[in-house]
Amino acid sequence: MKAEANSGGRQADDVLLVVDLQNDFMPGGALAVARGDEVVPLANQLARRFSHVVLTQDWHPRSHISFAANHPGRQPFEFITLPYGEQVLWPVHCVQETPGAAFHAGLDIPHARAIIRKGHHEHVDSYSAFVEADHTTSTGLAGYLRDAGVKRVWCCGLATDFCVAWSSLDARAAGFDVFVIEDATRAIDLEGSLDAAWRDMNAAGVRRLRAAQVLA
Ligand code: VGL
Ligand code: ZN
């Protein structure tokens, strides 16, 4: 990192995107990510270096198409093909207004400016905070960030290989410089998904760095 990027407080053209630090993704949750809780204090620490922080929140209706329970005879972690492409079938998770969809109690980012809720359309999943899985429906986040003068998007949270990866790839596609703070993420790693995600992120020019480089 250049010294300039390590200068403590980040400027108006930076945003920290804190992805899905919700109870259902924590150990003991419905779609637990191993050691996902370890990311929470680090996200809090990182957030203190950014004046602009946006949180994302996976926010599904109970009838959501990504839930194996809504596909008779199917089990969690199977793959199916939907009109918009391949979809992993997940355990029921992050149902709107349930405790599992709430942010981890230790998340402490009072100055977060916006919360992007995603996956709220019954028939379309959305790992990405920018564009839903139909590759068409925008959440509005890119326009919001552009209007706020943001040029660089710094990502942390869960899960590295799903919502963090898809969000960072879409942030790149929207023209932002993108950084994934690797040790402030944890992965699901389903059938090689973590390696595939890093391959895609590297190919897209997403920069991979450690929290210490941001906090230095
Ligand atoms: C996520 C699977 C399903 C994530 C959300 O936050 O990475 N993964 N829904
Ligand atoms: Zn989900």
* pLDDT, tens digit, 9 for 90 and up, residues 5-25: 444 567 789 999 999 999 999
For residue range 137-178, list pLDDT tens digits in order: 999 999 999 999 999 999 999 999 999 999 999 999 999 999
Answer whether residue 82 is part of any domain: no
* Position 22 in a domain: yes
- Is there a domain that residue 87 lies in? no
65 lies in a domain?
no
For position 99, which CATH number holds? 3.40.50.850
> Please, are residues 1 and 38 in contact by the beta-carbon 8 Å criterion?
no
Count of domains for the chain? 1
Asked if residue 193 is part of any domain, the answer here is yes
Domain that holds residue 149: 14-60+92-215
pTM over 0.85: yes
The residue whose CB lies within 8 Å of the most ligand 1 atoms, and thus the one to mutate among 65, 87, 162, is 162
Of 26, 59, 64, 90, the residue with max ligand 1 atoms within 8 A of its CB, to mutate for a pocket test, comes to 90
In a domain, 7, yes or no: no
Q: Express each pLDDT in 127-142 by its tens digit.
A: 999 999 999 999 999 9
As a three-state string, the secondary structure of the chain is: CCHHHHCCCCCCCEEEEEECCEHHHCCCCCCCCCCHHHHHHHHHHHHCCCCCEEEEEECECCCCCCEHHHCCCCCCCCEEEECCEEEECECCCCECCCHHHCECCCCCCCCCCEEEEECCCCCCCCCCCCECCCCCCECCHHHHHHHCCCCEEEEEEECHHHHHHHHHHHHHHCCCEEEEEEEEEECCCCCCHHHHHHHHHHHHCCEEECHHHHHC
Residue 86: inside a domain: no
Does residue 30 lie within any of the structural domains? yes
CA of 25 to the centre of ligand 1 (A): 8
